[in-house]
Amino acid sequence: MTRALTRLLLAAIITGAICLTPDARISAQEMTMMEMAKKMPNGINAIMSVNVERIVNSAIAGKEGWNDNHAGKLASGLIFVPEGSKHVLLGAVMDWDAFHPRQTNVLVTMDKVPPIDIIRQITDGSVDDVQGFQVVETNNDRYIVRIDDNLVGSLRPAIRQSFTQWLGGMKAGSEPRIRDYLEQGLGYADELGTEVIVAFNLEHSVSRSRVMDRIRDSEVVRENSLNAADVSKMVASVKGLTLGITVRDGIYGAVKIEFNEDISSLKPVAKELATAIFNRAGLHLDEFDTWAIDSDAHQLKLAGDMSRQSFQKVLSIVDAGSHESTQYASTDEMEGSGYDDPVTVTKKYFDTVNSLVDQLQPRMSAGQAYTRNSNWLKRYADKLDELGTLNVDPQMIDYGDFVSQSFRDASMLLIQTNESAQEKNRNLIAAGARSGGSGGRGGWGRSYNRYGWYGGASGYHRRRTGGDGSRLRSAVRQNAKGEAIVSVNEIFSQISAERRNVRQNFTQKFGVQF
């Protein structure tokens, strides 16, 4: 009963259906996201806020020991946020065609920002002076700046001109021009205490003609007697997308997708539409298939329980650099931590790599794998590349590089398999295919060496079949999906085998169980 009530409350909050009375709001000193947003540069079209302080003080964090040690941070996903952070605000300039950030700005508040030289040592970077600030340029294309005793910022990619303009704007106190939709999302974080908010301003980002090309022969549209031209107009009017997550005794999620056009007629396909938009944004979560959905004239709304694995995935969106870069508040603390002990840091690196593998691997089953997971594979590869390597054994770094490249190969395989199937179906439609045929079997030509995969091209197997074109196209999709699953599972099997080898070798090398 309590969980059901919490879910209903969360859904009402994120859709703006109710407001909390002033005495129920969090205190003014905790309302920091809007103030942090004033330091963001112009042009941001996506934001993410994480109230780390509230998450680590939640009931579930205390029960499961999320903040007790490295293993707890791995289990919760807090490994993706900078050590010692209280609040994290991420702003991105997104390329909506690729759904990839061209630029990512991050601000982090903490009790005490480490000295710039400690950040330099941990990241193995170099120190520069920009707009009167000492900054670190890391070796993985990122700038990190200590803005004051309690605020640290980062920019990726490390484009000096962009960084100079951002810091200059902070010094001048210029007001950012974050669009209204994103301000609304930050309002949920500040005024209602929602622990995690992800919001995209999608207005004018979707081409109606491209939507029309995608749905022109859609079986879902046809089966529900919808007009493709009308549907494309409604979908292209999407205004924005917001995901809110509350972390209390459990983890609960709520989603809203807003449109400028009246979408009432799309109610029969509301779930398919909402899922498609989230998948297109690279934010697929398996819970979407089970969450309850509601809709009105201009909104789609979903809400429900969220698994810890999905929570980990959402936190992986935080792009703030190495978790360890802000771990030590002083030189004395750093020197007393054992950071220079190769056994300790190498084992921690090994555990982190394996945790990221485990977070993804269970979702690669036949019922869940396919292109929906390609974005998470790519993002986790980036996270592996961001791991701190100071004093880590070089052979263990090779293992991390191998896993990172394997993730990228799996991501590309899923994308290319999907594109191949789509192209074959377009050709079938163009040829007016209404009956079965015969075809050959293709495959993903792959060879493996100790730390790398080298791929060929994807293909599909089409059995002789009868029936109309929709059955033939469905067979193409299913066969492509099946082959992709086999290949991805093969990649994860190779990772598992290499993990066993590395564990055995390093246990013998250091005399400590890895």
pLDDT tens for 356-413 read 999 887 565 444 445 577 888 988 999 998 888 888 999 999 999 999 999 999 888 8
Q: What is the pLDDT of residues 301-357, one digit of tens each?
A: 999 999 998 999 999 999 877 666 666 555 665 655 666 789 988 999 999 999 999
Q: Please tell me the predicted confidence (pLDDT) of residue 25.
A: 35
Q: What is the pLDDT of residues 99-120, one digit of tens each?
A: 788 999 999 998 888 888 888 8
Q: Please tell me the predicted confidence (pLDDT) of residue 158.
A: 92
Which two structure tokens, joined as six digits, stand for 279?
A: 């998948």
Q: How far apart are CA 323 and CA 83, in angstroms?
A: 6
Q: Please tell me the predicted confidence (pLDDT) of residue 443.
A: 34
| CB 80 within 8 Å of CB 316 | yes
Which two structure tokens, joined as six digits, stand for 116?
A: 């710039």
Split at pLDDT 50, 70, 90, the class of 439 is very low
Residue 388 half-sphere exposure toward CB, CA atoms < 13 A: 30
Q: How far apart are CA 63 and CA 488, in angstroms?
A: 35
| CB 124 within 8 Å of CB 117 | no
Q: At 216, phi and psi to the nearest 5? A: -55, -40
Minimum mean pLDDT range among 124-133, 161-170, 181-190: 181-190
Q: Please tell me the predicted confidence (pLDDT) of residue 189.
A: 81
Q: Please tell me the predicted confidence (pLDDT) of residue 233.
A: 93
pLDDT higher than 70, residue 143: yes
Q: How far apart are CA 370 and CA 411, in angstroms?
A: 9
pLDDT higher than 80, residue 218: no
For residues 498 and 31, the model is more confident at 498
Minimum mean pLDDT range among 201-210, 276-285, 404-413, 479-488: 479-488
Split at pLDDT 50, 70, 90, the class of 446 is very low
Residues 6+ apart with CB under 8 A from 41: 91, 105, 162, 165, 166, 169, 176
Q: Please tell me the predicted confidence (pLDDT) of residue 2.
A: 42
Q: Please tell me the predicted confidence (pLDDT) of residue 434.
A: 40
pLDDT higher than 50, residue 428: no
Q: Please tell me the predicted confidence (pLDDT) of residue 60.
A: 95
Q: Please tell me the predicted confidence (pLDDT) of residue 474.
A: 56
pLDDT higher than 80, residue 49: yes
Cα–Cα nearest to 390, from 182, 199, 121: 121
Q: How far apart are CA 143 and CA 102, in angstroms?
A: 15
Cα–Cα nearest to 378, from 397, 401, 405, 354: 405
Q: Please tell me the predicted confidence (pLDDT) of residue 55.
A: 95
Total number of residues shown for the chain: 514
Average pLDDT over residues 430-450: 39
DSSP per residue over 37-91, as a string? HTTSPTT--EEEEEEHHHHHTSHHHHHHTTTTSHHHHHHHTGGGS-TTEEEEEEE
Q: pTM, whole model, 2 decimals? A: 0.78
DSSP per residue over 259-276, as a string? ESS--GGGGGGHHHHHHH
| Residue 391 three-state SS | coil
Which DSSP symbol is given to 112? S
pLDDT higher than 50, residue 195: yes
Average pLDDT over residues 143-154: 91
When computed from its CA atoms, the radius of gyration of the chain, rounded to whole angstroms, is: 24
DSSP per residue over 181-247, as a string? HHHHHHHHHHHH--SEEEEEE-TT-S-HHHHHHHHTT-HHHHHTT--HHHHHHHHHTEEEEEEEEEE
pLDDT higher than 70, residue 70: yes
Cα–Cα nearest to 255, from 10, 2, 6: 10
Q: What is the pLDDT of residues 130-139, one digit of tens each?
A: 988 999 998 8
Average pLDDT over residues 60-85: 88
pLDDT higher than 80, residue 11: no
pLDDT higher than 90, residue 290: no
* Neighbour tally for 75: CB within 10 Å: 18
* Neighbour tally for 507: CB within 10 Å: 13
pLDDT higher than 50, residue 455: no
Which two structure tokens, joined as six digits, stand for 495?
A: 């990772």
Split at pLDDT 50, 70, 90, the class of 7 is very low
Average pLDDT of the chain is 78
Split at pLDDT 50, 70, 90, the class of 258 is very high
Q: How far apart are CA 57 and CA 80, in angstroms?
A: 17
Average pLDDT over residues 147-160: 91
**Does the N-terminal peptide bond of residue 157 adopt cis geometry, omega within 30 degrees of 0?**
yes
Placement of tokens 């995901």 in the chain: 243
pLDDT higher than 90, residue 262: yes
